[in-house]
Chains A and B, each alone.
Chain A
Amino acid sequence: MATGRIEIDFERCKACELCVPVCPRKCMEMGKTINRQGYMAAVFARPEDCVGCAICAETCPDACIRVWR
């Protein structure tokens, strides 16, 4: 069961993909919806596995991710 939750700022994401491989629980994926900047933003695909470690958020160069536990 999830012990953490994240929120990705859809409009700020630049689809760099850096947050995807760093998640130890493989919660992140690249999405298919284009934001106003023209990027297909990352999505929190498996929220049920999130442990709230914040590694994704620390990695994001654009500070798009907030994390709760």
Chain B
Amino acid sequence: MKNAAGKDMFSKLVYERPKTLLDRRLHYCPGCHHGTIHKIIAETIDELGQRENTVGIAPVGCAVLLYDYMDLDILEAPHGRAPALATGIRRALPDRVVFTYQGDGDLASIGMSEIIHAANRGENITVVFVNNTTYGMTGGQMAPTTMLGQKTTTSPYGRDFRTEGYPIRMAELLAGLEGVAYSARVTVSSPAHIRKAKEAVRKGFEMQLKGMRMGLSIIEILSTCPTNWGMKPLDAQKRVLGEMADYFPLGVFKEKKQADFE
């Protein structure tokens, strides 16, 4: 097709799936943000030219099949143990970029001790932490990040702080550790937020790329689980931007500079 000036129209492809994201159907539920988050990680790896150099660690949780979706070397960790695997790989192969992908059940519950110590040791890895306030894969049980009053299969009357404590703010907690180079909380619940989230993921990866031990980077992404929340995907996004972002503030909690090490 030609336009009025005789030029070819629609000949320039301006968006397609990133090369790092394999051309396969994702198994996630409709509107689940795991897919969006895979996309921004894959785009970042493409843009940084690190596809041949990156090792990913998949979690136990809905994203357990990460290795089927990304054109990268990916290992599967036991539940919560992704930071330990990432530590070993990054130390044995110090030139690689290593990231973990973990849910809130994985990272903040069974894997709490792993992430705290990896962060405190300042391991040179990037952690993508998907906080959807529930255990998605196993049918929507309460997680450490479940909101007060939120009904789950194991808190049928809503989470009560008197018996279950408070939702834990991981990005702030980890930012307080000396070994952490970068800590941010983002969401992918609108186009503008997706772009900001991608910037944060890029910053996180760059902490490993500058040829110095900058320390651990964590990007907490407030995410949806429409299925277990019993919500339509569009309503689930509204919940993230409303109730969730009120309790889990978006922002950058720590960003070390190269000069901090000189």
Contact = CB atoms under 8 A, between A and B. Distances in A.
Interface of A: 3-5, 12, 14-18, 21-22, 37, 39, 52, 54-55, 57-63, 65-69
B93 to A, nearest CB: 29
B233 A17 contact: yes
Contacts of A58: 15, 191, 194-195
Contacts, number: 77
Interface in B169-201: 190-191, 194-195
Interface of A is mostly: loop
A12 B10 CA distance: 23
A61 B36 contact: yes
B12 A68 contact: yes
Q: Which 6 pairs of residues, A with B, have the shortest CB-CB distance? A: A61-B35, A16-B31, A14-B30, A54-B15, A67-B15, A63-B17
B25 interface: yes
A54 B14 CA distance: 7
Q: How large is the interface on B (under 10, 10 to 19, 20 to 34, 35 or more residues)?
A: 20 to 34
Q: Specify which of A3, A4, A37, A59 lies most central, judged by the most chain B CB atoms within 10 Å of its CB.
A: A59
Contacts of B74: none
Interface string B233-260: 1100100000000000000000000000
Interface in B221-243: 226, 232-234, 237
B21 interface: yes
B232 A67 contact: no
Contacts of A14: 29-31
Contacts of A16: 30-31, 226, 233
B17 A17 contact: no
B231 to A, nearest CB: 12
A57 to B, nearest CB: 4
14 contacts: A3-B9, A14-B30, A14-B31, A18-B237, A39-B30, A61-B26, A61-B33, A61-B39, A63-B21, A65-B15, A66-B16, A67-B13, A68-B12, A68-B13
